[in-house]
Structure 1
Amino acid sequence: MPRPVRVVLLHGSQLSGAQWARYEALLGPDVDVVVPDLPAHGSRRGEPFTWEAALAVVGEAVEGGDPSVPVVLVGHSLGGYLAMAWASEHPTRLAGLGLLGATAVPAGPGAALYRGIARLEGRLGVDRMSRALDRQFDTLLPDELAALIKEAGYGFDGIPAAWDGVMTRCRPSMLAAVTCPVLLVAGQFDQLRVDARRFARAARSARWVRSVTVHHGLHVFPLTHPHDTAAALWELVTAAREPASP
């Protein structure tokens, strides 16, 4: 039998663990898929978002299973930056690290872009933003998945604090001491892929670093291209099952 692997999947901002609804089936048996909701999102919408609270949720998800089972930590967008931050504090703990749509240095023009988005969402209000996201997901996703995401709800309150944390704390250098394999995945048209090479170079202690482009993918490619994304993640699962080099 294949060695069991625990895969923790962290969602992007505004969304929830529901975004990963198809991944348990795609990753297959002997893979324990864990999809926590971050503070101010999904089932935790009533909790304020703080960087420390979010990292605590990540830690609980990573450490919540059998300690003998290797853990792969994967995050999309906000979740990717949090995954990198957690890994930087526990550089030898993981069997694999996947950053999806999270390889733009969040400073300079990129930071200005996200501050502008946060201000726009504040002006539009929750109802209009919810309707806009509903329309987007109705267009892009199968009906069943779109319904799951809408039912889980959107987390808007935590956006300013979440992206302020990303912009002030997260840099490629956080990967410097991480020893596990590192996988960088981005959509072909993903605005947060622009610094992938810098992130790859920064992961100088990693067992290996690989970059994957999901063709025709936007920033939401984990939702719209689940088979391509799961195929990329399978590299981390396979690596986690291999014995570490002496």
Structure 2
Amino acid sequence: MPRRVRLVLVHGSQLSRAMWARYPALLGPDVDLVLPDLPAHGARRGEPFTWEAALATLDEAVGEGGDPVVLAGHSLGGYLVMAWAARNPRRLAGLGLLGASAVPAGPGAALYRTLARVEQRLGPDRMARALDRELDALLPAPFAALLKEAGYGFDGIPDAWAGVMGECRPEMLSDVSAPVLLVNGQLDQLRVDARRFRRAARSAPWVHVVTVPRGLHVFPLTHPAETVAALWELVAAARGQA
């Protein structure tokens, strides 16, 4: 029987653990899948988002057990898993950054600060209607309905992205001793610095960069099979280490 691997998947901003709803069937029974909600998102929408509370959520999700752990996250979740790995560089058997290969500084950071302010001025109702329309256009109706029912985490956006821009740089990967996977959509605006992230992970036994053809930034939602195929590299590597 294959050695079980603990795979922690961390959602991006605004969404929740529901974004991974189609992944258990694709990953199969030999993966212990852990899907936390971050503060201010999903079932924890009433909680304020703080950087330390988000990292504490990952502490709990990774746990203290003996199974090898692969930690992966999308967008905000990708930057958070990188920050967690920087604090625990030898704890993981694999690290995956999905849609999180852009340096959050300079003009790009200014753009996200502006977007966060605009979203806050629009208010949650108009923001929710806009996101509803986007999900309806991109996803099968039952899955889009599931995401809508889980709710959106708008309140945490300014603090979450302020944390990313203030805390996260590619150099945080320098001491990570696990294999590193960088996955981005072909049309993903957060893939622009993938080479810099790859170079920064100098202690990793290998770093693989995967581009999902025709994928947007939300490729884990629209291309789950391709995303799982990439994640299996980390799961297989974790089993090999075990």
TM-score by length of 2: 0.99
Name the counterpart of 1:34: 34
Aligned residue type for 2:75: S
Q: Distance in 1 between matches of 2:225 and 2:108?
A: 29
- Give the distance between the partners of 1:216 and 1:243, measured in 2 at CA: 33
Q: Which residue does the alignment assign to 2:56?
A: 56
Q: Deviations over 1:163-214 (max 9, x none)?
A: 0000011000000000000000000000000000000000000011000000
The corresponding residue for 1:73 is 71
TM-score, normalised with respect to structure 1: 0.97
Task: Give the secondary-structure state (helix, strand or coil) at the position aligned to 1:94.
Answer: coil
Aligned partner of residue 98 in structure 1, secondary structure: strand
Identify the match of residue 220 of structure 1 among 218, 221, 227: 218
Distance in 2 between residues matched to 1:82 and 1:69, nearest whole Å: 21
Distance 1:122 1:216 in 2: 30
- The answer to whether residue 9 in structure 2 is matched with residue 20 in structure 1 is no
> 3-state SS of the aligned residue for 2:101?
coil
Quote how far apart the aligned CAs of 1:29 are: 1.6
Percentage identity across paired residues of the two chains: 75
Tell me by how many angstroms 1:141 deviates: 0.6
Q: Which amino acid is 2:20 matched to?
A: W
User: Structure 1: how far apart are the matches of 2:202 and 2:50?
Assistant: 29
Secondary structure of 1:86 counterpart: helix
SS in 2 for 1:189: coil
AA in 1 matched with 2:126: R
Q: Per-residue deviation at 1:243?
A: 2.7
Distance 2:99 2:108 in 1: 13
Q: Which runs of 5 or more structure 2 residues have no equivalent in the other structure?
A: none
Tell me, in whole angstroms, the C-alpha distance in 1 between the residues paired with 2:41 and 2:135.
17
Q: Which residue of 2 aligns with 1:43?
A: 43
Deviation at 1:229, TM superposition (A): 0.4
Q: How many residues align?
A: 242
1:145 offset after TM fit, Å?
1.1
